[in-house]
Structure 1
Amino acid sequence: MAQEQSAQAEKPKQPKSFEALTPALAEWILDYASSMGFARTTPVQAMAIPLLMGNKDLVVEAVTGSGKTLSFLIPIVTRMLSAEEPNKKGYVRSIVVAPTKELATQIYDVLRGLLAFHPPSAAVLNPRQPDADDEDVMEVQPAEALSGPAIIPQLLIGGRAKLNEDIATFSHLGPNILIGTPKRLSEVLQSSKVVLKRHWFDLLILDEADRLLDPNFEPDLRLILDLVPKERRTGLFSASVSEAVDELVRVGMRYPFKISAKVRSKTGALDKRTPESLKLCYLTVKPTQKLPMLKQVLHARQTEKSIVYVSTRAGVDYWKDILPSLLGVSVFPVHGDYKAPVRAKNLRRFVECDTPAILLTTDVLARGIDIPDIDLVVQLDPPSQPKDFIHRCGRSGRAGKRGMAITFLNEGSEEDYVKYLDMQGTKLEAYPNPPAVSDEDAAQTIRMVRTTLVQKREIHDRSQKAFVSWVQAYTKTLPADIFNIKKVDWVELGKAWGLLRWPKMPELKRLFPQQLTDRVYGLDMSSDFDLDGLAYADKVREGKRQEYLEACARGERPAMSSKGGAAADAKRRKERAWSSQKDAKAVREGRRERKEVRRTAERVGLMSAEERVEAGELEELIGRVREQTEKAEAGEMEDGFEGFDD
């Protein structure tokens, strides 16, 4: 049975396990913890480090920004440096698994910063000057070039390098720590060049462990658990330990020790799930008032760095074109469809931006990411899973710094979300002194959004796609009785999104039938606005659209899309010559006849003599039926078919 302790239950103690290694080693570890903004060691580190150093399986549930990353990196480093032969090429001693590329990269960077305090490891990591458009990378010497114990990490994430390149890098470097995402880790660990021996492998760490057991990750994670030796130490770390983690504890851990590091709220309760330095607020407004309200909040608080969460990737692609001019700030978009270099570049540009900026993203950056000096977290859309609420908010108020998270809720049933979170142990306060937003402010915002939409047709297309994806995501948002798609105000939503017309989708057809006869119903569009006159900025795409419109004007059936899929297959079949189609049909019919003859022969071969006679009589009867039917259809039988005589 898992043992439990609370970080508030006793005064934090210095972790003697790593202090006993060498005074110098303990000192540079504590110096780095201090450089990261922690007071030497945090309560989580003071409790977790001795347990991992003492060969304990460990489950850690701690509030965001409490120093969980260092609490598992420090034991990995100290245990490895105290090993007899840590630099044996090809032998992996520890693995860290993270759910996202950004989190894996962050852990890798923290480890590099930690190793900078260790001279032998720092000598191995040789920085080179990057090009103007290159990422900050570190070159590592091969293991055989080392004269003493050192830590050699390798980052394994998709999109950064091809699989064969990662395997080649592994063979050259001989890393002893692997940090990466489940998919790429599982692919590399299956290589014959990777050695996972029982007497060499030490620690397996799962960061954001509950997220790793989502259906998207579970197969790869199970494969990793099967590949690593069973005789190991395992650590699970997350701000929210769910039933999925409890299941993983039973599968992959033995008698785990559980640390639940909590903080006291102002009322003295010990169940607060977020740090005391983070203030959680909510604003209940009409959909058309969200953006003007956000603009006034950003101005009033004079925020420099903010993160804005929306529910879908298509929403990020749409709002990135709308928010810069509307809010007067720089907007840097990040979502899961972006390639790894683009995600890293936008994230770096946001961090380095010296003017007010917004990081516009989805839940891909909701967990574990430590971005310095985030003043405000804004949730324009609620998370689909309630457990992700804490992780989103936790991007602010980290390491004891003050922060605020604001959640926007639509008037109506969504207001019950505050009570629901309160029942789950997360208390939200009403935003103090909310700014007043008039109907004219909302109307002005809608006009500004539509001004951006009519600049080019591509943005209009994104608005349609984003709205459809938002509706589909809303239907999957939990709790379903609070976020009920049947209760939304469609006219308010359409105006808030700045739609120029309603998209075609089953939800609107079923729940808002007025738009079937009038595609601009309730949107208050000008009567002289002609959507067909809105052109694409891409000349090739606009040319195809004009050809389509001209074909429709002539009463012709427009050609099918040239894109792949079923439409392309149908188009190719239709464009084939008639003679070729006839020959292909004859070939298919001949093939079917040969198969039927073969099956009949096989079936008859298994029959007895009596069964063959009965089958012959049945075939004769079927033949007579067909003959009579054909005569009746040809009009040769005046009275029709009356059946067979007895």
Structure 2
Amino acid sequence: MAEPDILVNFDLAPAANAFGASSSINGIRGGRWKDRFRAKKRLQNKRGKPSFLDAEGNQKSTNAQSRPHPKSDVPAGPNRDNGSGNRLKAGNELPGAPRSNHDQPIISSIFSSNPVSVVNVEKTGTENAGPAIPTNAPLKDGSVFSTMGLAPALASHLVNNMNISAPTSIQQIAVPQLISSDSDAFIQAETGSGKTLTYLLPLVHRIYTATLSGDKLHRDSGCFAIILAPTRELGRQIYTVLMQLLSHPSLHWLVPILILGGEKKKSEKARIRKGGNILVATPGRLADHLSNTTSLDVGFVRWLVLDEGDRLMELGFEETLQQILTALNERAQKRSNKAPLADLGLPDRRITVLCSATMKASVQKLGDMSLKDALYLKSNQKSDAASDGPKSFQAPAQLKQAYIVSPAKLRLVTLASILRRAFIRKKEHMKVIVFFSCADSVDFHYQAFRKIDDKEQQDTESETSSDEEKEVETETLEDNKKKPQRPSLAAKSMAPLIDPTVSLFKLHGSLAQHIRTNTLNDFFHEKDGAVLFCTDVASRGLDLPNVDLVVQYDPPYSHEDYIHRIGRTARAGRDGRALLFLLPGCEEGYPGQVLKEQHLTRRLADEVLKKGFGAAPLPKAAKVVDPLWKKDFMPKNSGAKWEQEAIEFHLDIERRVLASDEFSNVAKRAFQSHIRAYATHVAAEREIFDIKQLHLGHIAKSFGLRERPGDIRLPARGKTGTVPSATGKRKLDSTDTNGDSTRDAQDEEELQRAAQMMRKKMREHMNIASEFNIG
């Protein structure tokens, strides 16, 4: 043994890392390069160059040049050092250490370190311009349906029962052509110009006149027309318009059939066996019935309508459409030797009509696949399909378009300001649609703005309530349990953070079909103010009344998607507004480079926040679960009133995220999905939407997260606390020393249940091509 006074030349410093790398004069040796690099950084921090994280999650050095200013409104970040190198997260202390009353508060710095707009655009004065003449409104030149070749009963039905007095421009041009000609057609018109009636009126007229001229047709005579829609919501809307059109007493025998994905095939087969003349369907479900349902007779089909053809191709239905066309051709050849339909006045061949508001390469490919010698029909223009290509599509002239340049950290409070301001000015029957890039983002913002339910409200109440109050609340809860309550079938809630009278809805492709149907129906018939948070599943063809404002919170994936989104407002000659969110920097070139022919007004986030948070008192926010967090999340004392209210609004969202593990997981999942969705923009626009230019810390802040992006960990979907194995499946423990057969049985049942849920989920998403575009 060595003597106690002998100084042994050992290096007593702690190991540089867990992989055995040690420090030396010449640096760190051994192990992987990445491990040596990380160990070297840690050693540098221990030798007097520690770093800290600010409130946005940015790593900064403690040298004099990067030290925060003493007057900064961010005295401490979410991860603060306790002096020993350990980091403390927001709202947490060291294990076993009491909370200190003199700790510096954690400030939400949504107004600091924000990038500045790089484009200086002078005001063009478009807001003060006179009202524009609507371009998709019914004509006022004396045109009527009776002069377009329609049957008198059908024309009078439109005016007297459907309150449609005059046709639109595209209807005046296309309907006579489709009635008199047996050629294929491509119809291009503005959104909200009545394309659905444009192709429904000719085929209903010709079937109706066939009944008058010859033998009586009935529901068992066969299917004469098939209408394909890309989404279930659009298919149901087409079916609703068709039912209104066939409500005339002389058309009672003409029966439509609706076939959509997400419903029971047994009930659909029962409707098919009863017979029908016009079939409205989605491509995937129709192809399934053509292969498996023998009672579906499509040998007499004389019209095939492909509505929103560009969307059909985007969702990956090209192979399915080719399969449908092949099946229709084969069935038509088998029926060719039987009773001809030309004697009844019906076309002797199948007519294909392709409808779209935009013209793109995918639509041209679909036209080459399905159309033959087609007519190109457009508002105030008639030409052959082989002629020069159509010009780029314009939005309705009466639609007021604008874009707002908002930093990432201010996006959430800016959205709240816009919604509050919209319902301050006009509340009766007003509706707003907000588009997001993915379903997870819809879920987060719906959770953030919705009314807290009874269970959460109980958790947010203070623990200092009296015993009498608790007894009264217990009796009230027991009385409510005794009353039978019908569960809501729609994704609907109140939005107290916007306005106490406003209803909030959400819609995306991951919801069950009955929830999607009821949500859209309730939003359609809502009499008070309503807001719909949705993905692009609601961007095509839907005619929702009283939609005054469309907000694109996440930019669209292409120019065509922008056109279809803003087309939910300013329909049939009505006024409307559209607002697009953009980040400072490269995204500011989007209006000039992509939306060249659109006239957008520029706005800044500060101007919108002043109007939304400064003009009216802030609605009552949700209470905090832990009252001790209140002092750790306080807005700054200086600044304007609207700025303080905006900070308090954002702080409330952050408190709720930290207080609830479920809400925290929703926020983390939304953040990750948003980043993945951002990378799916078309190649031509990736210079504008450059994912490398995103500040991930600021993006996380907009979702109420206070962690660094690299520290955000999300548990697997499923039960709380279950951790999947590396292969994604939970392995049963075959070496159970206790021999507990009951536990093995429970594990086996859990595996079977998980497999069933996975198969069900796969069936629901069978026809979905992109989880980001349609949820």
Q: TM-score, normalised by structure 2?
A: 0.58
1:355-504 matched pairs, under 5 angstroms: 355-423=528-596, 425-431=597-603, 434-437=607-610, 440-478=644-682, 479-502=685-708
Higher mean alpha-carbon deviation, 49-58 vs 304-313, is at 49-58
CA distance in 1, matches of 2:678, 2:577: 25
C-alpha contact (below 8 Å) 2:412/2:650 kept by paired residues: no
The whole-number CA distance in structure 2 between the counterparts of 1:50 and 1:228 is 26
Alignment of 1:232-251 (within 5 A): 232-251=350-369
Partners of 2:303 and 2:353 within 8 A in 1: yes
Q: Work out whether residues 317 and 333 of structure 1, in 8 Å CA contact, stay in contact via their aligned partners in 2.
A: yes
**Equivalent-residue separation in structure 1 for 2:325 and 2:391 (angstroms):** 34
CA distance in 2, matches of 1:25, 1:326: 48
- 1:93-117 CA distance string (max 9 Å, x none): 000000111100000001111112x
Cα RMSD (Å) = 3.3
Of 226-235 and 281-290, deviating more is 226-235
Change (3 A) 1:336 1:575: farther
Residues 1:223 and 1:466: Cα distance change in structure 2 (over 3 Å): same
Letter in structure 2 aligned against 1:429:
T
Report if the CA contact (8 A) 2:144-2:167 is conserved. yes
CA shift in 2, pair 1:292/1:47, >3 Å: same
Output the CA distance in 1 between the equivalents of 2:514 and 2:394.
33
Q: Report the CA distance between 1:272 and its aligned residue.
A: 5.6
For the 8 Å contact 1:288–1:442, the answer to whether it is kept is no
CA contact (8 A) 2:413 2:646 kept: yes
1:535-546 matches, within 5 Å, as 545=721
What is the CA-CA distance between 1:456 and the residue it aligns to? 2.1
CA deviation after TM superposition for structure 1 residue 81, in Å: 1.2
User: Aligned letter for 1:257?
Assistant: L
Secondary structure at the aligned position of 2:362 is classed as helix
> In the aligned structure 2, how far is the partner of 1:435 from the partner of 1:121?
53
* Separation of aligned partners in 2, 1:121 and 1:65: 26
Q: CA deviation at 1:261?
A: 2.4
Q: How is 1:264-303 mapped onto 2 (pairs within 5 angstroms)? A: 273-301=394-422, 302-303=425-426
Task: Work out whether 1:177 is the aligned partner of 2:275.
Answer: no
Deviation at 1:492, TM superposition (A): 1.9
Alpha-carbon separation, structure 1, partners of 2:359 and 2:411: 32
- Rounded to whole Å, the distance in 2 between the matches of 1:262 and 1:325 is 47
C-alpha offsets along residues 114-169 of structure 1, whole Å, 9 cap, x if unaligned?
A: 112x20334xxxxxxxxxxxxxxxxxxxxxxxxxxx31001100123x22321122
* Closer, same or farther: CA 431–239 of 1 in aligned 2, 3 Å: farther
**C-alpha separation in 1, matches of 2:652 and 2:290:** 52
User: Retained in 2: the 8 A contact 1:309–1:361?
Assistant: yes
Match of 1:44 among 145, 150, 170: 170
The answer for unaligned runs of 5 or more in structure 2 is 1-134, 333-348, 382-389, 450-494, 611-641, 740-775
Given candidates 257, 260, 263, the residue that maps to 2:378 is 260
Corresponding position of 1:58 = 185
Kept in 2: contact 1:52–1:233 (CA 8 A): no
- Whether contact under 8 Å (1:18, 1:53) holds in the other structure is no
Q: Per the alignment, do residues 88 and 305 of structure 1 end up closer, same or farther by CA in structure 2, a change over 3 Å counting?
A: closer
User: Which position in structure 2 is the counterpart of 1:153?
Assistant: 256
The answer to whether residue 444 in structure 2 is matched with residue 312 in structure 1 is no
Maintained 8 Å contact 2:508/2:534: yes
* Match of residue 243 from structure 2: 112
Mark the CA change 1:278 to 1:186 in structure 2 (over 3 Å): closer, same or farther. Answer: same
Q: Tell me, what secondary structure is at the counterpart of 1:404?
A: strand
Q: Distance in 2 between matches of 1:256 and 1:371?
A: 31
Given that residues 219 and 254 in structure 2 are in contact (C-alpha distance below 8 angstroms), is that contact kept between their aligned partners in structure 1?
Answer: no
Change beyond 3 A, Cα 1:185–1:362: same
2:271 corresponds to 1:187: no
* Alpha-carbon spacing, 1:434–1:73, altered in 2? closer, same or farther (3 Å): farther
For residues 2-49 of structure 1, give each alpha carbon's deviation from its aligned partner in whole angstroms, at most 9, with x where no partner exists.
Answer: xxxx9999989656786364x22332234456x2xx551111111111
Asked if 1:202 corresponds to 2:302, the answer is yes
CA offset digits 1:69-91 (Å, max 9, x no partner): 10111112111112245326162
Candidates 195, 200, 207, aligned match of 1:80: 207
Matched residue SS, 1:281: strand
Change beyond 3 A, Cα 1:43–1:456? same
Contact kept? 1:262, 1:273, Cα under 8 Å: no
Measure the CA separation in 2 of the matches of 1:255 and 1:20: 25
- Return 5+ residue gaps in structure 1 as ranges: 1-5, 123-149, 264-268, 503-507, 509-514, 521-530, 533-539, 546-558, 580-646
Q: Is the 8 A contact 1:262 1:271 kept in 2?
A: no
Q: Secondary structure at the match of 1:375?
A: strand
Q: Deviations over 1:434-470 (max 9, x none)?
A: 4345654543232021133234211100101110000
Amino acid paired to 2:407:
K
- More deviation, 254-263/476-485: 254-263
**Conserved? CA contact 1:186–1:224, under 8 Å:** yes
CA pair 88-24 structure 1, distance change in 2 beyond 3 A:
closer
- In 2, distance between residues paired with 1:566 and 1:325? 44
CA distance in 2, matches of 1:403, 1:213: 29
The two structures have a TM-score, normalised by structure 1, of: 0.69
What code does the residue aligned with 1:370 have?
Answer: D
2:185 touches 2:353 (CA, 8 Å); kept in 1?
Answer: yes
**Distance (whole Å) between structure 2 residues aligned to residue 92 and residue 417 of structure 1:** 47
Distance in 2 separating the partners of 1:250 and 1:11: 36
Q: Is the 8 A contact 2:549 2:578 kept in 1?
A: yes
Larger fraction in helix: 1
Identity, % of aligned positions: 30
Query: 2-side partners of 1:59 and 1:156: how far apart?
Result: 24
Q: 2-side partners of 1:165 and 1:20: how far apart?
A: 35
CA gap of 1:90–1:314, structure 2 versus 1, over 3 A, is: farther
| More relative contact order, 1 or 2 (CA 8 Å, 6+ apart) | 2
What residue identity is the alignment partner of 2:183?
A: K
Question: Does the 8 A contact of 1:90 with 1:195 survive in 2?
Answer: no
Alpha-carbon distance, 1:228 to partner: 2.0
Query: d(CA) in 1 for partners of 2:267 and 2:261?
Result: 11
Which residue of the partner structure matches residue 589 of structure 1? none
